[in-house]
Copies of this chain bind each other. A is one copy, B any other.
Amino acid sequence: MNSGKAVAPGDMIGILGSGQLGRMLAMAAARLGISVHVYCPESGPAFDVCAKRTRAAYDDDEALAKFADSVRLVTYEFENVPAHTAEFLARRVPVRPNPGALAVSQDRFAEKSFLNSLGIATAPFAPIDCPADLVTAAARLGRPSILKTRRFGYDGKGQVTIRDGDDASACFAAVGAAPSILEGFVPFSREISVIAARGLDGSIAAYDVNENVHADHILSTTTVPARIAPATAAAAVAMTAQILNALDYAGVIAVEMFVVGEGAAETLVVNEMAPRVHNSGHWTLDGALTSQFEQHIRAISGFPLGSPRRHGRIEMRNLIGGQASAWREWLAEPGACVHLYGKHEAREGRKMGHVTRVFDGNERV
């Protein structure tokens, strides 16, 4: 791996991926005087706010080499960066977060094994490579349980619930007969996430814990702070710090967790982690002194981390598909902070924007 030269304002960094996360990262970099080169096979929202753009495949070594030569370091907006791409770039220029963190989070089996090795609880799980594995595992983990592909799943894609009487072969076919895991059912009371950053010097800064509600497997709303016991929040942050240190991580990470039980009996089960900025941290653009996007740029650049201090109580809601067509009403709501990603086609399930409301104490700002 290339350790690279220090980054300073005026330099250019690279981002893999041209979606809304890349877009908000690029603007955060610009705010710090850093220009951005976006690399992506498809044009997207990030292409509109960067100094340089390359549209090429992730296995186009010539384009990747030129990209690497133009930047001080490379980061990414999504965890499914192909291993070849990450390794090819890392031989030329620092890739942050490091490709090891990427490899762990790309594979649900590797991720859960890694978490368990740190003493962090996950749902019980078993690797599934054929229908017979599924029959055995379902007998052990019980039904309902969830079959998920090891790789390339997001927003509920590549998942199927295994219920009483379901046929193992049909279920395995439903996830494309791909290497998978079966996850035991977790009877959670809430879903939360921790967004935290680790700097090149090992310093860590975490935002207050998010409480998330999903609809159709897609994040619908985030409220902050989460309605959990203070000790539970502290444990969630401590767990995230443990993960960051174990991975010798630089950048922002998101760790999604289930809260099981209530009050003093609350326990935490990690669902998954994302080695990147995260939808549940979008509120930090309007509701915190430092946004998660700037925090990520600071962390990977070796700059001091910024203050994660919150301005008030937060409600963030995603605008999914057609919901963004009500943009004018959102803009008319006093105090609502509206973000639209500039996507031209509002397909079903597509994240088109989000709205953050910042409340002062219990009162609306």
Contacts from A to B (Cβ < 8 Å): 8-10, 23, 26-27, 30-36, 47-51, 286, 289-290, 298, 303-304, 306-307, 309, 311, 324, 327-328, 331-332, 334-335, 337-344, 353, 358, 365
How many copies of this protein are present in the complex? Answer: 2
Interface centre among A23, A27, A298, A344, by most chain B C-beta atoms within 10 angstroms, is A27
Cβ of B358 and Cβ of A289 under 8 Å apart?
Answer: yes
Chain B residues with CB below 8 A from A286, complex form: 289
Contact of A335 among B31, B309, B339 (CB under 8 A): B309
Chain B residues with CB below 8 A from A328, complex form: 303-304
User: A49-B27, A289-B337 in contact; A33/B327 too (CB < 8 A)?
Assistant: yes
Nearest residue, chain B, Cβ from A34: B342
User: A9-B327, A50-B49, A289-B365 in contact; A32/B304 too (CB < 8 A)?
Assistant: no
For residue A54, give the distance in angstroms from its CB to the closest CB of chain B: 15
User: A30-B23, A335-B309 in contact; A10/B51 too (CB < 8 A)?
Assistant: no
Nearest residue, chain B, Cβ from A298: B331
CA distance A338 to B344 in the complex (A): 32
Cβ of A32 and Cβ of B340 under 8 Å apart?
Answer: yes
Contact of A341 among B27, B33, B36, B344 (CB under 8 A): B33
CA distance A327 to B9 in the complex (A): 8
Listed A/B pairs (9) with beta-carbon separation below 8 Å: A9-B340, A26-B49, A27-B27, A27-B31, A27-B49, A30-B49, A298-B331, A304-B331, A304-B332
CA distance A216 to B32 in the complex (A): 26
Nearest residue, chain B, Cβ from A30: B49
For residue A71, give the distance in angstroms from its CB to the closest CB of chain B: 14
Chain B residues with CB below 8 A from A289, complex form: 286, 335, 337, 358, 365
CA distance A353 to B298 in the complex (A): 17
Nearest residue, chain B, Cβ from A329: B304
For residue A282, give the distance in angstroms from its CB to the closest CB of chain B: 12
CA distance A38 to B362 in the complex (A): 42
Chain B residues with CB below 8 A from A358, complex form: 289
For residue A324, give the distance in angstroms from its CB to the closest CB of chain B: 8
CA distance A303 to B309 in the complex (A): 31
Nearest residue, chain B, Cβ from A12: B48
